[in-house]
Structure 1
Amino acid sequence: MSLVVLVVGTGSIGMRHLQVLSEIEGIQPVAVPARAERVDELSAQGYRALSLEDALALQPTAAIVATDTGRHVHDAARLLRHGCHVLIEKPLAPTATGVARLAEVAAANERTIAVGCYLRFHPGLRRFKELLGEIGAVHHVSVACQSYLPEWRSNVDHRYTYAARADEGGVLRDLVHEIDYATWLFGRPQRVSAMLTVGDSLGIASDAAADLLWRVPSGATVATRLDYLTRTRRRFIEAFGHEGEIAWDAVENTVTVKSSRGTTQVNHVGCERNSMMREQFLALLACARGETYDRRLTSFDEGAFAIALCDAARASSASGAMETIRDWRNG
């Protein structure tokens, strides 16, 4: 018997989730578009598409929330109350304010809720994590994700996408993958210093660049650069230790380890985006069945911490001072 899984929101990422789910045996994906007219359009494309009310009547096992960021909490709460285990596309919400109520809904309904930071499932990042111990105690980490927003989609005007909206877009929210995996690998900071640059040069109201600096419990510093401004795409994490350095280049698909003895080891580790999303969803289902929690799956707490860090970064950019990252439970 197939498990019914809803995909709520059918923009580019929602459609990718539909494609991924369609390829998993035993899963019956149902598209739930935000606009009613999309139901017929998607049905004509061969997808099963329904209104949310009709889709919930099918008693779905799980749901993926891929609506606009500002709707995530509301949409997820409704799905949780109807018995769905829920994967929310990143970021969890525009800010950490009010997300504690969603955690309460999940607990009250005994449902699993996770956040879609699928890069944790990249074998390159996994290899980076496995080899990290070879460089000894880490004293500094550098993280970057840089690309040119107008070139993301050739047939879409970037000025009218969610990325351009100050209230729910911008690099801090959009590229939260980097914040998620940096804190996953090296621990959570208590405070952050940041400088944000509004995207006037791109014609957008949101932040087009963000420079963040924090210290993790081990004492290592983490510097992160996120931007929509760089013509040559870059995505990497580098760690510098007492016995060498290690870097994962997500564009070149390499993990490189340089030891203090002068040796260099290059691992070629590629991955296809759909496979990461597939593994991520299967990890959610396994968790829903009560199996061992896959630590690569971004928990609600981890997703909420990431946006609380983003809140503190915006506050730091405004104040010019290092700001404390507030506990999302108190927001």
Structure 2
Amino acid sequence: MRVLVIGSGSIGRRHHDNLQALGAQSRLLSWREAGLVGAARAMDDAEAVVIATATDIRLPLIEAATGRGLPMYVEKPLAFRPSEVEAIAALAAPVAGRSLLGYMMRYHPAVRALAGSDLSDVFQFALTIGHDVTQWRVNWRFSESYAARAEGGGVLLDLCHELDLAACLFPSLAVTGVESLGHPAFPGVDFASRISLSAEGLAGDVSMDYLTPLLHRRTTLRGTERMHDFDFAAQAYWMTEATGPRLLDLPLERNAMFLDAMRDFLALASGGETSGNPLMPRLDLCLGSARLVADAWSKRAFNGILTKEIP
């Protein structure tokens, strides 16, 4: 299969390499060099498209791809404005059942274990993720990245896997409030956000930050029958019941998630058999999660300013 990867940043290069490893004919195209005209022209020779650009320029690419009937792998988040989510949903409807949204964490063995558990007794939850953004990659500056943009940047969008996980576990969640911290050098960009969520009989929050010195990534679910305490950073997954705690063995090789997601995309795009993962992020099945992310972004309320130096 001939696949065009638009966006030559770190995630685009990863997808390009994984596609080649899976036997696809992948072409990597720089958005900065090609622009919309060049990208659209390159789609004429493709059978599928991976869109790995900054979030704020995806809509015209999605329009160009769907106009050609091409299935898409779109990096997360789908969009940051609720109106744009709806525009994409309408545009992509003809190919959405053959397309994927890039929530590769849905292939994490611990996420699949959680989603396969009985969570009917859960009444509270907390999902957290964060790390000092200045330590993310060598020879990389936050100020020069897509994440530093007021339109489409910020930590809520950048680390929205946890919001997607909450939506997977509890599909009826609604956003009740969002508290964010900003930075004087980057107006409109959230460096820490806490999203309050609720459903009938259930309340919780998702928190993310660009600030903490060491990576943390944790999911805690509290129920009347059991508690799940999953530390994704340490790969330590505990379930506690009345009989006591139990450590679950859920090993992970990180790129395996990306490979599994791309393997499913190639199967969808070609009409083949997928992995059977019940959480497979098929685009038409992910719109609820995409709406939750965009709704949270639109409800950010900045209640403080940081002084940490961010190069």
TM-score by length of 1: 0.82
Cα separation, 1, equivalents of 2:32 and 2:131: 30
1:136 and 1:244 in contact (8 A); partners too: no
> Out of 258, 261, 276, which is 2:257 matched to?
276
Q: Residues 313, 129 of structure 1: CA spacing in aligned structure 2 closer, same or farther, 3 A cutoff?
A: closer
The answer to whether the aligner puts 1:181 opposite 2:165 as a matched pair is yes
After superposition, the CA RMSD in angstroms is 2.5
> How far did 1:69 drift?
0.8
Unaligned runs of 5+ in 2: 304-311
1:165 and 1:204 in contact (8 A); partners too: yes
Q: Residues 94, 313 of structure 1: CA spacing in aligned structure 2 closer, same or farther, 3 A cutoff?
A: closer
Residues 306-315 or 140-149, more deviating: 306-315
Match runs of 1:153-172 below 5 Å: 153-172=137-156
Once the two structures are aligned, what percentage of the paired residues are identical?
A: 27
Structure 1 residue aligned with 2:8: 10
Secondary structure of 1:231's counterpart equals coil
Q: Residues 107, 303 of structure 1: CA spacing in aligned structure 2 closer, same or farther, 3 A cutoff?
A: closer
Q: Residues 244, 110 of structure 1: CA spacing in aligned structure 2 closer, same or farther, 3 A cutoff?
A: closer
Cα separation, 2, equivalents of 1:144 and 1:215: 16
Secondary structure of 1:182's counterpart equals helix
Secondary structure of 1:90's counterpart equals coil
Cα separation, 1, equivalents of 2:136 and 2:114: 27
Residues 109-118 or 221-230, more deviating: 109-118
The answer to whether the aligner puts 1:237 opposite 2:237 as a matched pair is no
Cα separation, 1, equivalents of 2:221 and 2:298: 27
Cα separation, 2, equivalents of 1:12 and 1:110: 25
Cα separation, 1, equivalents of 2:69 and 2:220: 41
Q: Residues 275, 145 of structure 1: CA spacing in aligned structure 2 closer, same or farther, 3 A cutoff?
A: same
2:81 and 2:297 in contact (8 A); partners too: no
> Out of 222, 235, 238, which is 2:204 matched to?
222
Secondary structure of 2:213's counterpart equals strand
Secondary structure of 2:222's counterpart equals strand
Q: Residues 186, 61 of structure 1: CA spacing in aligned structure 2 closer, same or farther, 3 A cutoff?
A: same
> Out of 34, 53, 74, which is 1:88 matched to?
74
Structure 1 residue aligned with 2:196: 213
Secondary structure of 1:159's counterpart equals helix
Q: Residues 71, 95 of structure 1: CA spacing in aligned structure 2 closer, same or farther, 3 A cutoff?
A: same
Q: Residues 319, 269 of structure 1: CA spacing in aligned structure 2 closer, same or farther, 3 A cutoff?
A: closer
1:21 and 1:28 in contact (8 A); partners too: yes
Structure 2 residue aligned with 1:42: none
Cα separation, 1, equivalents of 2:61 and 2:251: 34
The answer to whether the aligner puts 1:146 opposite 2:130 as a matched pair is yes
Structure 1 residue aligned with 2:177: 193
Secondary structure of 1:296's counterpart equals coil
Secondary structure of 1:35's counterpart equals helix
Unaligned runs of 5+ in 1: 39-50, 321-331
Higher relative contact order (CA 8 A, sep 6+): 2
Q: Residues 108, 267 of structure 1: CA spacing in aligned structure 2 closer, same or farther, 3 A cutoff?
A: closer
Q: Residues 72, 54 of structure 1: CA spacing in aligned structure 2 closer, same or farther, 3 A cutoff?
A: closer
2:126 and 2:221 in contact (8 A); partners too: yes
Match runs of 1:89-104 below 5 Å: 89-104=75-90
2:79 and 2:294 in contact (8 A); partners too: no
Cα separation, 2, equivalents of 1:248 and 1:129: 13
Secondary structure of 1:140's counterpart equals strand
TM-score by length of 2: 0.86
1:115 and 1:297 in contact (8 A); partners too: no
